[in-house]
A and B are shown apart, each in its own frame.
Chain A
Amino acid sequence: SQTIHQWPATLVQPVGSPLSLECTVEGTSNPNLYWYRQAAGRGLQLLFYSVGIGQISSEVPQNLSASRPQDRQFILSSKKLLLSDSGFYLCAWNEPKTDTQYFGPGTRLTVL
């Protein structure tokens, strides 16, 4: 069966520091991968999605970037964090040409 992992689970970072969040999927190959952000008390915002290694589509211009160095690995990064980057970051996957996404446990990021 497929599983999705995210780490770290929680992170507290100062403004201006770099960020790297990792997501990995097991039990499937060539998945579509997604990064979402959920700000406090708000819905989900799609940040990036990827249909293959090195293929990244950005949904919202921002302070963040994403990379997919391996088939089942998706990384969210920032060179300099802003206060507004605080939130709950969720990674998700689905099989190509299927409509159901499955979510990881999330990373709660607090920028101080």
Chain B
Amino acid sequence: GNSVTQMEGPVTLSEEAFLTINCTYTATGYPSLFWYVQYPGEGLQLLLKATKADDKGSNKGFEATYRKETTSFHLEKGSVQVSDSAVYFCALSDSNDYKLSFGAGTTVTVRA
């Protein structure tokens, strides 16, 4: 079956630091890959996505590249802000039924 593995948190950073959250996946077929972000007390928001190998998704300074050879979709941001404090979820969408499989989430705290 499909599965997603994220690096465990929590992650605490200083403002302007570089952020990387590792994500690897197991899937049959050709899934789409996603990063969702959840701010405190809120639902999930789509942060970025990639639908095929070597695609790069980007939004709000975050980037992730779909690496089929390493089955990875690591999230990066070059200079984080306090407002980036949130829980980040990696997910994949099954190409047959479009159901999402989520990683466990990584809590990121950015300190001023």
Contact = CB atoms under 8 A, between A and B. Distances in A.
B98 A97 contact: yes
Given A42-B104, A99-B32, A100-B49, A90 B43 contact: yes
Nearest to A101: B100
Q: For the complex of A and B, list the 7 residue pairs with the smallest distance between their C-beta atoms, beginning with the closest.
A: A99-B93, A43-B104, A103-B44, A103-B43, A99-B32, A106-B43, A44-B102
Interface in A72-112: 90, 92, 94, 97-106, 108
A48 B42 CA distance: 21
Given A99-B32, A100-B34, A43 B103 contact: yes
Given A46-B99, A99-B32, A90 B105 contact: no
Interface of A: 6, 32, 34, 42-44, 46, 49, 90, 92, 94, 97-106, 108
B98 A32 contact: yes
Interface residues of B, number: 21
Contacts of A100: 32, 34, 46, 49, 93
Contacts of B102: 43-44
B99 A43 contact: no
Contacts of B20: none
A108 B95 CA distance: 31
